[in-house]
A = this chain, B = another copy of it.
């Protein structure tokens, strides 16, 4: 039987990736003043810089901003003006201060799940920014625990299982990322409710995990979560 249900934060409880994609659009408009975008492979180069820096910066908007600055300097061969680099810093600040907007129906879904299971919020990224989002989301009282982790890997999930005194087989994770929310949990013997978001960061989309496992149910929107949980609960029993 399922004991504990984990919810991802970004793009599962609240909108997030759209702000990052808007930031990418702004970045592109600034760089267009310096380079011909048709043969620059701008997004590939930015993604390569972000990936190279992940081992130093971790996830989150501050690391993204530093990678954007570095990529802009490299791509323009140092021709970019300080004023335009300042604009890139402002892009990052905008991402850090965007309003927290819940996905439609997610509050009702978390409340419904919480009537029968312990629920935990497991979110990845910058501690300070994630705490601010948790504080503003208005859902934090529903959660038994709130875990902000730097990477959603087996080690991080194992820590949650230990804190909550459950085994992997008693745990369902709800999230929009196959790579971070679903694959490691299923690999450990747990269960997943995969709720894709309409946009996904290229790094997060990079997984060979297939959602067709019998341990995963895919839903289109929050109103499918309770039904999916019942299905998994029956399979786990």
Spell out A's residues near B (CB within 8 Å): 56-59, 62-63, 65-66, 69-70, 72-73, 76, 78-83, 85-86, 89, 92-93, 96-97, 126-129, 131, 148-150
Contacts and interface: CB of A to CB of B under 8 A. Distances in A.
Contacts of A66: 62, 65-66, 89, 92
Contact of A82 (B56, B63, B73, B131): B73
Contacts of A63: 62
Contacts of A92: 66
Number of copies: 2
A79 B78 contact: no
A85 B83 CA distance: 11
- The A contact surface, by secondary structure, is helix
Contacts of A131: 150
A129 B60 CA distance: 13
15 contacts: A56-B93, A56-B96, A57-B128, A58-B129, A69-B89, A70-B86, A73-B83, A73-B85, A73-B89, A76-B82, A82-B82, A127-B127, A127-B148, A127-B150, A131-B150
Contact of A58 (B78, B127, B150): B127
A56 to B, nearest CB: 5
